[in-house]
Structure 1
Amino acid sequence: MAYQGTSAPGRTSTLFGLTMGLVGMTAAFFAAGAYAGRNLGSGAVIVAWIAAFVVLMIMNFAARRSPRAATLLLAIFGVLIGVSSAPTLVWYASTEPQILWQAGGATALFVGALGSFGYLTKKDLSGVRRASFIGLLVLLLAGVVLIFVRIPHASLIWAVLGLVVFAGLTAADFQRLRRSQGLNSAPLIAASIFLDILNVFWFFLRIFSGSRD
């Protein structure tokens, strides 16, 4: 089942509303998953994380054929990511709950500003997207290295660089949202924006908790 087509201006506003609605839906399922997984062990958390990655890959293929199936997979993805995030959220909620609020507020401002820029700018951000994706790969590699190599303030530096990378990805994803030609792309764009928001939130958590060390 495909979403019905509309005129170009109407399609843009409809796609924005549909996509952000799906982002909100994913966040709700994320919260449900985090609540359900609050008492699970590390093994179940790892399985949930791997399953979320698999679901995301399947969703990339499903979106081309069935937006309804992609939407269902997006909801499942939200639950699984919530389950895998539960231990971290529970720890902060029990030890430093104020940092959760600080990170949430900073994330809202960050994504709001970068998202607005990406959505409204006439500058082509495809180059920014490519550079940010390369930066993300470097960031992931650095994260693996830092598991084995101890560097002073490495976690804080890594988080700041992560925000730089996701500043580019967030702006580029919102420009992708504005430029997209089909409503069927809504689930995939929603997944990208949700991941932008979630990663920015994690980086702010690291920064605010690191500033107290």
Structure 2
Amino acid sequence: MAEYNTIRTAGVSGARAAVIDEGLRAHMNKVYGTMSVGMLITALAAWAISGLAVTSDPANAEYALREGQYLTGLGVALYASPLKWVVMFAPLAFLFFGWGALMSRGSAAAVQLGFFAFAAVMGVSMSSIFLVYTPYSITQTFLVTSIAFAGLSMFGYVTKRNLSGMGTFLMMGVIGLIVAMVINIFLQSPAMMFAISAIGLLIFAGLTAFYTQDIKNTYIAHAAHGDQEWLNKAAFDGALSLYISFLNMFQFLLMFMGQQE
């Protein structure tokens, strides 16, 4: 529930505060609901693509991944050809070059569609985890990530501490993390990958709390203006931020908890 003191600070009190408080609950439910649908789309896309890319029949395969597991033509294109770089960096390109333009010029419906399309592309990009890790370890890591995410998001929602300074520091850390990951693509250093995973997990854990507080405060600051179209787009933007934090926590945690096939 929204803090009434926070709402009054924004210049709203009494009955109007109650209306904003109710609207905030609906807004957060929309954020988490949209994020959950996006996660489902990603999981289904990753599972479906991995199933289409792998066969157990050598006669229908183009490449032997390991004993008893072979890549089809689609699998070779996705994981053993230059197309893998397109698949890997397509979600990042969308975030840097597509999402901002969609938020500024698109309708709420277009932003929602863009988010779900991004979730599907992200699923294709992540489909290789089903080739590397056991289904049990993927499920186990997902549950652990869900519990951690829920706790961190709850903290960000209820804390009275201003997390904006922490958020700025963590975003700088994300840039450094991306640079380190690109460098390690060429170095292939296990020690560096371990450090990246540990630091990345901490960064996105902190960002989960920061994004939740920012979503809440942004709604409170703008709800009094009654711009419902903008608030709808803001809910999808918030869902994307939390979705990215969750997926990064999951992937980094999978490197520690995942059992390989």
AA aligned opposite 1:33: A
Contact 2:111 2:233 survives alignment (8 Å)? no
Q: CA RMSD in A?
A: 2.3
The counterpart of 1:103, out of the listed 127, 131, 141, is: 141
Mapped partners of 2:88, 2:188: distance in 1 = 26
Shift of 1:152: 5.9
User: CA 1:11 to 1:82, structure 2 compared with 1: closer, same or farther past 3 Å?
Assistant: same
Match of 1:135 in 2: 173
How many aligned positions are there?
Answer: 203
Match of 2:103 in 1: 63
SS in 2 for 1:122: coil
Mapped partners of 1:193, 1:150: distance in 2 = 29
The counterpart of 2:246, out of the listed 181, 197, 202, is: 197
Match of 1:162 in 2: 200
Match of 1:3 in 2: none
User: CA 1:58 to 1:150, structure 2 compared with 1: closer, same or farther past 3 Å?
Assistant: closer
Shift of 1:45: 4.3
Match of 2:115 in 1: 74
Runs (4 or more) in structure 1 with deviation over 4 Å come to: 148-152
Decide which moves more: 30-39 or 116-125.
30-39
Shift of 1:101: 2.4
After superposition, the C-alpha distances for 1:148-167 in whole angstroms (9 at most, x for unaligned) are: 44656332222111111112
Mapped partners of 2:242, 2:253: distance in 1 = 17
Contact 1:103 1:204 survives alignment (8 Å)? yes
Contact 1:46 1:84 survives alignment (8 Å)? no
Match of 1:24 in 2: 36
SS in 1 for 2:128: helix
Mapped partners of 2:111, 2:233: distance in 1 = 9
Contact 1:55 1:73 survives alignment (8 Å)? no
Mapped partners of 1:103, 1:175: distance in 2 = 25
Shift of 1:62: 2.0
Mapped partners of 1:154, 1:37: distance in 2 = 29
SS in 2 for 1:203: helix
Name structure 1 gaps, 5 residues minimum: 1-5
Larger Rg: 2
Q: TM-score, normalised by structure 2?
A: 0.70
The counterpart of 2:128, out of the listed 82, 87, 92, is: 87
If asked which structure has higher relative contact order (CA below 8 Å, sep 6+), I would say 1
Decide which moves more: 154-163 or 170-179.
154-163
Mapped partners of 1:171, 1:99: distance in 2 = 26
AA aligned opposite 1:37: I
Q: TM-score, normalised by structure 1?
A: 0.85
SS in 2 for 1:123: coil
Mapped partners of 2:123, 2:44: distance in 1 = 7
Match of 1:48 in 2: 87
Decide which moves more: 61-70 or 34-43.
34-43
Shift of 1:58: 2.2
SS in 2 for 1:7: helix
Shift of 1:90: 3.1
Contact 2:47 2:130 survives alignment (8 Å)? no
Contact 1:99 1:209 survives alignment (8 Å)? yes
User: CA 1:121 to 1:51, structure 2 compared with 1: closer, same or farther past 3 Å?
Assistant: same
AA aligned opposite 1:132: L
